[in-house]
Copies of this chain bind each other. A is one copy, B any other.
Amino acid sequence: MPIKSGDKLPSVDLYENTPTAKVNIAELTAGKKVIIIGVPGAFTPCCSKSHLPSYISDFEKFKSKGIDEIVCVAVNDPYVMAAWGKDQNANGKVRMLADTNGAFAKALDLEKDLSGPLGNVRCQRFSMLVEDGVVKALNVEPDGTGASCSLSNNILSQI
């Protein structure tokens, strides 16, 4: 069953910039208000033109609502995630974390098989508000890949 509001976030290691820099998502969210967005793929048109940019441009709004961090997760390797963050000017606003092996997407039960177009199982597009490790709001795109309910304006209204 997919993760839902009220659930505790699973403890999974993600990677930032390089394959050796582990970031445990349970540790990262402990005692904090964190927005996590999941995306099907770095550099894909929808993720690059609407989804991630909406969070980067609304960074100050999230900050003023008490959000400590915004994290973007995709099943891509850490080098690709870092390059995508650089390309999108995410630095200092959205942390780009690699779910290298898809362990986080699997633990959330939010996998999306995109083997055909992208080569492997990725993550459904979602936005999530996490407070002290517990999911407080979750918006998963109905088709897994569109960008409507998971855009920044919706979760901003849920904080």
Q: How many whole Å from A92's CB to the nearest CB in chain B?
A: 20
- How many residues of A are counted as interface, with CB atoms below 8 angstroms from the partner's CB atoms? 26
Decide if A80 is an interface residue (CB 8 Å cutoff).
yes
Neighbouring B residues of A98 by C-beta, 8 Å: 119
**Beta-carbon nearest neighbor of A119 in chain B:** B100
Decide if A154 is an interface residue (CB 8 Å cutoff).
no
Q: How many copies does the complex hold?
A: 2
Instruction: Please encode chain A, from 116 to 136, with 1 for each CB lying within 8 Å of some chain B CB and 0 for all others.
Output: 111110000000000000000
Neighbouring B residues of A82 by C-beta, 8 Å: 43
Which of B43, B75, B79 has a CB less than 8 Å from the CB of A79?
B43
Neighbouring B residues of A101 by C-beta, 8 Å: 115, 119
Neighbouring B residues of A102 by C-beta, 8 Å: 119
**Beta-carbon nearest neighbor of A81 in chain B:** B43
* Cα of A13 to Cα of B27 in the assembled complex, Å: 43
Decide if A59 is an interface residue (CB 8 Å cutoff).
no
Neighbouring B residues of A116 by C-beta, 8 Å: 19
Decide if A23 is an interface residue (CB 8 Å cutoff).
no
> Contact: A76 with B83, CB < 8 Å?
no
Additional A-B contact list (4), CB under 8 Å, known A43-B77, A44-B77, A100-B119: A19-B117, A43-B82, A83-B87, A119-B120
